[in-house]
Amino acid sequence: NAGVTQTPKFQVLKTGQSMTLQCAQDMNHEYMSWYRQDPGMGLRLIHYSVGAGITDQGEVPNGYNVSRSTTEDFPLRLLSAAPSQTSVYFCASISPGLEGGELFFGEGSRLTVL
Amino acid sequence: AQKITQTQPGMFVQEKEAVTLDCTYDTSDQSYGLFWYKQPSSGEMIFLIYQGSYDEQNATEGRYSLNFQKARKSANLVISASQLGDSAMYFCAMNNRGTYKYIFGTGTRLKVLA
């Protein structure tokens, strides 16, 4: 009954370092997405995917890369971290039905870039 | 363009009283979904309630109800009989049919007083 699993939960990086936030879901959801949450700004969509091999940009994609090689996994890559990328990151997948469906969220990953 | 507006950054309510959290939205689409999520201090995102644009009845889920006024483009969350455990950040979100780009408001932090 894992749902959406994100790793790591906490990470500290230095400016310019790279890292990958992992996201995996076991609900066979076609749609997966990454959001960042910043104080006073709510959640903003970074990238999303509607199925394996298909990705698209959201509202704030700059500085992030994604790929979707399997239905289960949707990693988010920071190629050269910047202090502006300090944030809490959420991965989410959708259950079918409704107008787009309810989002199932991971527990979040808190990233600090020094 | 879609937009969600939550004008109340913070709210206080006395335990056992009802509280309304405001949400207005903007979209040119006729078919869309409206959602409310709760984020307690532990950080996870919890789905509360959903309203479809074609639903004639207001959605209810236990102590949560969604006051949907389509003409005014508002989707306020009503929490009845507030409990201390309701203290959290609450986010309004929407999604247009056929797209997977959910947008979120900036949130309202609710504090329930004993």
Per-position DSSP letters for chain A, written without gaps between them: ---EEEE-SEEEE-TT--EEEEEEESS--S-EEEEEEETTTEEEEEEEEEETTEEEE-SS-TTEEE--SSSSB--EEESS--GGG-EEEEEEEE-SSSSS-PEEE---EEEEE-
Chain A CB within 8 Å of residue B100 CB: yes
Q: How far apart are alpha carbons A19 and A41 in whole angstroms?
A: 24
Q: Tens digit of pLDDT for each residue in B55-112?
A: 889 999 999 999 999 999 999 999 999 999 999 999 999 988 777 788 999 999 999 9
Tell me the Ramachandran region of residue B50: left when phi exceeds 0, alpha when psi lies from -120 to 50, beta otherwise. beta
Across A38-45, average pLDDT: 90
CB contact under 8 A, B95 and A42: no
Shortest distance between the Cα of A101 and any Cα of chain B, in A, equals 8
∠ at Cα A62 (A59, A65), nearest 5°?
100
pLDDT at residue A101 tops 80: no
pLDDT in tens, B85-101: 999 999 999 988 777 78
Q: What is the structure's pLDDT at A94?
A: 87
Measured CA to CA, the distance from residue A53 to residue A21 in angstroms comes to: 18
Mean pLDDT of A10-27: 96
A100 pLDDT band (50/70/90 cuts)? low
B8, B46, B94, B102: best to mutate for the A interface, most A CBs within 10 A: B102
CA atoms within 13 A on the CB side of A9: 7
DSSP B84: G
- Judging contacts by C-beta atoms under 8 Å, the chain A residues touching residue B36 are none
